[in-house]
Amino acid sequence: QADWLMRFYQFDAEEILCDEQPDLALDMDPKLAWALRRPEHFPLDVNRAAYEQILRIPGVGVTSAQRIVAARRHARLTHEHLKKLGVVMKRARWFITAQGEPSFTVQEAGSAYVRKVLSEQKAPIKRSRQLSLFGDGPP
């Protein structure tokens, strides 16, 4: 994942890791971990931010960033537009502002709160009632 950040999202190796956290977080995407360590870079206005800045928003991939830059030439973007462009709003909403929409960002909420909300576990998946050749699980 760190290699992906450097190749496609224009990060430097020094940005991904820091002296306080010399290892990657195993429970979190490295781009999200970077954003939570640097809340002063956010929120970004998706209608004004440079392409390079948009790439650093958690929940925004290369294709979505390109779509944002292209779409905002024609209209001011809202959260609904961003959703339709493929942005993962569950993550991105903490780091962006959009046309006329109030947002509760990482600046107001704090990094610890955002981390907690985004890392909450989903309800456990019920096991299938399908018959298994191995009994309760693999040997």
pLDDT at 6: 80
pLDDT band at 133 (very low <50, low <70, confident <90, very high): low
The beta-carbon contacts of 74-77 under 8 Å, at least 24 apart in sequence, are: 76/47, 76/100, 77/46, 77/47
Q: Which has more confidence, 19 or 112?
A: 112
Question: What is the maximum alpha-carbon separation in the chain?
Answer: 59
pLDDT for 45 equals 94
Per-residue pLDDT at 38: 86
Asked whether the whole model's pTM tops 0.85, one would answer no
Task: Give CA–CA dist 30/34, Å, rounded.
Answer: 6
